[in-house]
Amino acid sequence: MTRTFYGREKDNAVYPIALANLVLHGIDEPHIWHGNSLSQQATYAGLFAGAPQFFDFVLMNPPFGGKEGKEAQTAYEYKTNATQVLFIQNVLHSMRNGSRCGIVLDEGVLFRVDAEAFVQTKRKLLEECDVYCIVSLPGGVFSSAGAGVKTNLVFFDKGRQTERIWYYDLSDVKMGKKSPMTLAHFEEFFRLLPERADSGQSWTVDFAGKLQAALDEARPHHEKAAAFSAQAKELEDEFVTLKRTKTAKPEKLQLHEERWKAALREARDAKAKAVTIENAVYDLKAVNPNRKSVEDTRTPAEIVAVIDEKGREVDTALARLKELIPCGFQSILESAPGWDRTSDHRIRSPVLYPLSYGCKVLSVNGLKIFRKIAKLFCCQFVPFKECSTHTNA
């Protein structure tokens, strides 16, 4: 079993680490090819001898946002310097009917439909493979590896075209250095996956239905483009014939040329409209239809009234501050719950605690302003035992 694992690695520093990692996990003969997988330029291929042309299972996390030169694009049908698009084509070349793949793709690869290589690569993927599952991951999953882009897990089988895509949304999971993503976050996913059931975090898209609807919507535009193209061809022939006679007046030639070019523009515009409609289907980004959007339903007048009220709160706070002197907070402190009269410690930020106690009615923004100004008033705050007694208004 351990002899059936094959892999590729380009980075000189990571390659020996990958070999050591496999050995430590019981794979005594690691078949790791060292070089550029896209251009097929090998640095060291000695351990890859006897590797099959096609693989049954492919797992890949290609580099995000990488760029490749023309030499790495020659082997692929759809040319682009975007490495992830080239790697999708590379994966398809290494799979046979029945092969399965799981790949990490950044969000841009899924939603971009403005570049020919992106659209055609996804079209090829969806026509040759059953893309049955896409998992939307939270941002920052790979930030520790230097990649902060939003990513997705895409799973597909080669040999039949995509009919339906099941999505699962994990984008709301909060990630951090001390709170990494774990298997626990995937518990519901694994429970729903066998039946590909719908839930608040999962849904199914009828891709075949969307594609057919787009083709139907685009058909009139294709027909319009074809009609104008035929008209433009006729007008071009008439223009050429008139120009050859050398007897037509310049005004007549100009009129025929304008009509010919106008027909060409109409044909191009109709064709572009049809292509835009068809390409939109290949936006595979996960958009959870079950997510509830938070919408502010207040009218402009109500929003202005709230702003005015907050302004009055700030004015009240400023008026109160003007009545205070540097040690005038002592009585507020001593009346606060939990105040220790025997404490002889200097407060690092003397205004923060009393303000949070004595000004609870302030808005968040009002309290921030109150605190900033209070720090200016109390910049010479001294230990409590040195404060004289003051009576607050």
Instruction: Please give the single-letter amino acid code of residue 158.
Output: K
Residue in 310, 311, 350, 312 with CA at minimum distance from that of residue 332: 350
Token pair of 184, please? 């626990």
Residue 168 has pLDDT above 60, yes or no: yes
Tell me the pairing of strands 164-169 and 95-106. Answer: unpaired
Of all residues in the chain, the percent with pLDDT exceeding 70 is 80
User: Which of the listed ranges 75-84, 103-112, 156-165, 343-352 does the model predict with the highest average pLDDT?
Assistant: 156-165
Q: pLDDT tens, 276-335?
A: 999 999 999 999 998 877 778 889 899 999 999 998 888 888 887 777 655 455 555 555
Strands 95-106 and 55-60: what pairing? Answer: parallel
Query: What pLDDT sits at residue 374?
Result: 55
**Tens-digit pLDDT profile for residues 2-29:** 578 889 999 899 999 999 998 998 888 8
Across the chain, mean pLDDT equals 82
Identify the pLDDT of residue 367.
54
CATH topology for 2-206 is: Rossmann fold (3.40.50)
| Rounded distance between C-alpha atoms, residue 168 and residue 136, angstroms | 6
pLDDT band at 64 (very low <50, low <70, confident <90, very high): confident
Domains of the chain, by residue range, sit at 2-206, 212-282, 300-386
Cα distances from 371 to residues 179, 248, 267, 329, 332, in angstroms, run 32, 85, 66, 13, 15
Question: What's the pTM?
Answer: 0.71
Q: Which two three-digit tokens encode residue 156?
A: 């597909």
The answer to whether the beta carbons of residues 279 and 113 sit under 8 Å apart is yes
pLDDT level of residue 214 (50, 70, 90 thresholds):
very high
Q: What is the pLDDT of residue 387?
A: 38
Radius of gyration (C-alpha) of the chain in whole angstroms: 34
Q: Higher confidence at residue 195 or residue 323?
A: 195
The candidate with the shortest Cα–Cα distance to 236, out of 259, 252, 270, 267, is 259
Instruction: Give the list of residues 6+ apart from residue 39 with CB closer than 8 angstroms, or none.
Output: 68, 71, 72, 75
Token digits of residue 33: 């090819």
pLDDT level of residue 50 (50, 70, 90 thresholds): confident
Residue 296: which residues within 8 A CB-CB, separation 6 or more? 303
pLDDT at 252 over 70: yes
3-state secondary structure of 10: coil
